[in-house]
Chain A
Amino acid sequence: MTQTVHLLAFILFIPAGIALAHGVSVTWKACGEEITIEAAWDNGLPMVEAQVTVFSPLDPASPFMSGVTDDEGIFVFKLDDSQVGVWDVQVRKAGHGEMVHIDLSSDEIPGGGASVYTTSQILLMAVCVIWGFAGTAFFFHSRKKRKPDAHT
């Protein structure tokens, strides 16, 4: 199911990810180089002033940047797109925390950190879906053209 969501996200060009834990939900979405992190408690209330730490692919042991979420549990930052690979973002507050993984490697799905599909596989599947629609359209088109023959 998760893989299907990631595939749909890819097809619609809306990179997105989610991480859930007991008590905490952290989601992210990308718009170009800008990443928006949204953190909430499991009752839906935003995690206000939660501590956010971003780790880059080139130096995953040291924070790339840090900050806190706003009153809506949101934290926005810009990636350094010269660093290809997995960006990790940790969000925590009051003894609860979670980490999300934003994969910008060339052969992985943007936003699909937990996916096992490669880009080539996804492209192949997308082509197949389009091909399937085209095939169905041809089928009905051929039936429509056949009808006058049936009456003669």
Chain B
Amino acid sequence: MKTSGYYEKSGITLVILLAGVILLLVAGCGIAKDETEIDDISTDQSFEVEETGTLEFRANGEDFVRRGFVSKDGWHITFNHLYVTLTDITAWQTDPPYESHSGDTITGEVDVMLEGVFTIDLAQGDENADPLSVGRIDSVPVGHYNALSWRMIPASAGPSEGYSIYIDAQAEKGDQSYNVYIGIEQEYFYQAGEYIGDERKGILAQGGFTDLEMTFHFDHLFGDGELSLDSGLNLLAPGFEPFADLMAEGTVDVDLAILRETLGDLEYQKLVDILLTLGHVGEGHCHCECL
């Protein structure tokens, strides 16, 4: 027979456990509340803040795109034009900082979008040229823009029409010389954290100026002849040889649809995988999705 003391103690225990559960739920509610608050204070283009500055968005194909380089398999490649078409370029202020490896969607306290679609020729300028200005917005809220997202979409007109990336280059090796036209019709969505590089970008003070950079690493595609073949970059890079094998009358003129039919399965998959890694913020990696 159970004594009244037993019921008393069991009751106390149950109360203690229930109290613990309730407190945990309260703590849980607090976490959810924090997330909601972040969503609630997101802003759009109609800023009503007193402290503002100017934010510029830039695109950079890096110096080796402007001066040419040697691929991992010994092809000297010089770019006449290297077009990328960018849109929905958005700077974010996020807290905590966005981590691209998480694969999450960026959410931020402040977001600033550059309206429009921009086709940029990353091969413009000499090797010492500054990154290309895509556009700037005046009177954006001050703060630390520590995340960046953009879409890369097929161009609707112009020399790269139909392609999000269009390479117009010359490839030479020994006595071989090819005109190279490679179009990528896939659409991509990039999300990145803070710019990684020589300088810190994205910190905007009252009346000040800052810039953010979309950086494209085309050595990931062709490899780098200055690195050993067993370097991480060269192991992942398709190189130029797979494209050279598709040469017809001194010209390589292909797009993803043709490459899907003509490359081997492994080579095609290697190409598709590496295209996801082209977009960076300086040396910082992006989370990239095919759309």
Contacts and interface: CB of A to CB of B under 8 A. Distances in A.
B101 A121 contact: no
Contact of B200 (A55, A97, A138): A55
Interface core residue of B3, B19, B34, B284 (most chain A CB under 10 Å): B284
Contacts of B34: 116, 118
B200 A131 contact: no
B247 interface: no
Contact of A21 (B16, B97, B100, B144): B100
B194 A115 contact: no
A11 B43 CA distance: 37
A19 B102 CA distance: 10
Nearest to B8: A142
A92 B196 contact: yes
A98 B196 contact: yes
Interface stretch (A29-37, A67-75, A76-84, A122-130): A122-130
B23 A113 contact: no
Contact-residue size bin, chain A (C-beta under 8 Å from the other chain): 35 or more
A97 B283 contact: yes
B16 A135 contact: yes
Interface stretch (B24-32, B52-60, B67-75, B174-182): B24-32
Interface string A35-75: 00000011100000000000100001110000000000000
B20 A131 contact: yes
Contact of A116 (B16, B26, B35, B233): B35
A61 B96 contact: no
B196 A116 contact: no
B101 A22 contact: yes
A142 B6 contact: yes
A121 B284 contact: no
A97 B2 contact: no
Contact of A125 (B3, B19, B24, B284): B24
A60 B17 contact: no
Contacts of B27: 117, 121, 124-125, 128
Contacts of B101: 19-22
A149 B97 contact: no
B151 interface: no
A13 B193 CA distance: 28
Closest 3 CB pairs of A and B: A97-B196, A142-B9, A97-B283
Interface of A: 19-24, 41-43, 55, 60-62, 88, 90, 92, 95-99, 101, 113-118, 121, 124-125, 127-128, 131-132, 134-136, 138-139, 142, 146, 149
Interface of B: 1-3, 6, 9-10, 12-13, 16-17, 19-20, 23-24, 26-27, 30-31, 34-35, 96-97, 99-101, 144, 193-194, 196-197, 200, 203, 217, 219, 232-233, 277, 282-285
